[in-house]
Structure 1
Amino acid sequence: MQLDPERGYDLIGDVHGCGRALARLLDTLGYRLESGVWRHSRRQAIFLGDIIDRGPHIREALHLVYDMVDHGYAYCIMGNHEFNALGWYMPAPPGSGREFVREHSPRFARLLQETFQQFEPYPEEWKAFREWFYELPLFLESERFRAVHACWDSSVIARLRPFLNDACINPAILREAGLPGTFICQALDRLLRGTDMPLPEGMTLTSEEGFVRTFFRTKFWEENPQTYGDVVFQPDGLPDHAARMPLSAQQKNRLFLYGPDEPLLFVGHYWRRGQPGPLRDNLACLDYSAVKNGKLVAYRLDQEVRLDPAKFVWVDVCAVFRT
């Protein structure tokens, strides 16, 4: 998929069903609703995945994004929630120890329940959108910038490319992802869910949604980390005593690094809070917890090769967008 190096792009973080906030953000960015489609005369939007789940206007958000992509005014890459939706319906391969690629567990049922409920009166629409999810690339790349939902790992992407069709998965790849420990499973986890590390022995964390975890999400840009606290990258941080624990040499060697001299990289996924801005001058996360009354965030990219903090644009997602 070729991006125009001369065009300006507006990269937009995780929407999660905040369809009305998305319309407000597009209006703020200078897009206009014409003949039912949001469009801009000189720019294109790039959505970083996770259009579905959790929010009050999932169907509205999907139609908006689909129409923009279909008419050439946007791109959209796959998020882990679109992947979850496909995996919910895909039988797992023999030997996987599970029935579906995404197990019908309380965790995944809870993540997908709002989408299922809002599409319940529209089963054919939901089926059509799931088919469209196969057309969402896992990543976008140009000479100046890259976009992926959670983590860009060039070595993984290079090895994965031969299995993909223009960076898109197909049902066979989805099915193979249901085999834990395979390259396909691990590669899709890396791109769509990022990097993680086991918690110190015996420790667990409970997320805001009640899910108990024995791993925590990690930074993939920290150049000289010394402690657990140096690498944690998630809203619910580690307890102080765990954050102060030193990393072993083996743990440090296993950490992945997206280097400071690589092209601009845009990701979503990580539920950030506070004032939007760069993580580093070549790396931005645009997920600011919109569906949790946070911010729906965009970055206005032109020809710069280093991120400009003044080019982050957002709307505060409040009660007015949730009715």
Structure 2
Amino acid sequence: MLDPARSYDLIGDVHGCALTLEHLLDRLGYHKQGGVWRHSSRMAVFVGDIIDRGPRIREALHIVHDMVEAGQALCIMGNHEFNALGWSTPALPGSGKQFVREHTPRHARLLHETLTQFEHHPGDWHDFQQWFYDLPLFVDAGRFRVVHACWDAGLIEPLRALFPNGCIDEPFLQASAESGSFACTVFDRLLRGTDMRLPHGLTMTSGDGLVRSFFRTKFWEDDPKTYGDIVFQPDALPEPVAQTPLTSTEKNSLLRYGSDEPLLFVGHYWRSGKPAPIRPNLACLDYSAVLYGKLVAYRLDQESRLDPNKFVWVDVERPEVLQ
């Protein structure tokens, strides 16, 4: 799907920040020609989550869709595109669910901005949902890889056998409504990442007000000792929990993306601060754009190890969110 000899601009979670996306594309040397943002020699690769939360979701989708259709970009699926498909797709009979993604208040809240902004454009929204099926769950270009949240070879290889280009279909989406199924596990791991239950039945309230009994974990740490060594989310663990030693069973259950594997780009994790590699072969490009953070890109050429100087970003101004 990608020419490994070409140069690429990997771009993090947009979440409806269309104005900022245009500013970033301009900074990267793309120009709008014939209604499409283009570059003379490079190509954009979006890590998913174009929709939800932001003020210009429809505009952001048109920018990315038109670039993809013109061969100027590739976009993979994020958990928010999956959520949108699941919300509108009936579950299989006998599943005990009406829709693949049940219409709970929490799920409704996450999709609220998208559904509201498309309220007077139902045909447009229908077409975009069909296009979401063209967004692969992963890209493996040999020297680099792209997935929204987590690269798990144990799931990607059997998934690739079913869908060689990484693009799933409606029956696979419907199969994910069954908890513990292969489809459910694929979407959860690749699009949401790895997690671990908090010890002793504890829960914590995240910055977005949701009460969780699990926390997101790193999938690359070589020799972690405590819960604090593996946490990877905006909300810190309570200090007593962070200092709790991992059991051998917990350590053995952790996924590890090796330091000798190809470059990997992900989004999803709401990072902050100055964009930088996590490891020489791993970068997260989600720097909380829709929370007045940064919309971040990495300019990939032929390097086999990430260069901290090749991150490019635009700070999201409040007018993007308020206007």
Q: Which TM-score bucket, shorter chain as reference?
A: over 0.9
- Structure 1 CA distance for aligned equivalents of residues 90 and 197 of structure 2: 29
- Structure 1 CA distance for aligned equivalents of residues 204 and 169 of structure 2: 34
Question: Is the 1:49–1:149 Cα contact (8 Å) retained in structure 2?
Answer: yes
The AA in structure 1 aligned to 2:306 is L
Report Cα offsets for 1:242-299 as digits up to 9, x if no partner.
Answer: 0000000000000000000000000000000011000000000000000000000000
Root-mean-square deviation over aligned CA pairs:
0.9
Equivalent in the alignment of 1:310:
309
Question: Is the 1:13–1:287 Cα contact (8 Å) retained in structure 2?
Answer: yes
Question: Is the 1:276–1:297 Cα contact (8 Å) retained in structure 2?
Answer: yes
Q: Percent identity?
A: 65
Equivalent in the alignment of 2:258:
259
The AA in structure 2 aligned to 1:102 is R
The AA in structure 1 aligned to 2:100 is V
Equivalent in the alignment of 2:89:
90
Equivalent in the alignment of 1:201:
200
SS in 1 for 2:201: coil
- Structure 2 CA distance for aligned equivalents of residues 168 and 29 of structure 1: 28
Q: Report 1:104-123 matches (<5 A).
A: 104-123=103-122
Equivalent in the alignment of 2:292:
293
Report Cα offsets for 1:290-314 as digits up to 9, x if no partner.
Answer: 0000000000000000000000000
Could you list the runs of 5+ residues in structure 2 that have no partner in the other structure?
none
Equivalent in the alignment of 1:49:
48
Equivalent in the alignment of 2:242:
243
The AA in structure 2 aligned to 1:73 is Q
Give the CA deviation at 1:205: 1.3
Equivalent in the alignment of 1:75:
74
Please, what TM-score do these two structures have when normalized by structure 2? 0.98
Question: Is the 1:150–1:269 Cα contact (8 Å) retained in structure 2?
Answer: yes
Give the CA deviation at 1:95: 4.2
Equivalent in the alignment of 1:178:
177
Question: Is the 1:95–1:179 Cα contact (8 Å) retained in structure 2?
Answer: no
Please, what TM-score do these two structures have when normalized by structure 1? 0.98
Give the CA deviation at 1:184: 1.4
Equivalent in the alignment of 1:139:
138
Equivalent in the alignment of 2:64:
65
Report Cα offsets for 1:59-82 as digits up to 9, x if no partner.
Answer: 000000000000000000000000
Task: State the aligned residue count.
Answer: 322
Worse overlay, 93-102 or 185-194? 93-102
Give the CA deviation at 1:321: 2.3
Equivalent in the alignment of 1:276:
275
Could you list the runs of 5+ residues in structure 1 that have no partner in the other structure?
none
Question: Is the 1:150–1:191 Cα contact (8 Å) retained in structure 2?
Answer: yes
Give the CA deviation at 1:177: 0.5
- Structure 2 CA distance for aligned equivalents of residues 38 and 66 of structure 1: 11
- Structure 1 CA distance for aligned equivalents of residues 288 and 176 of structure 2: 27
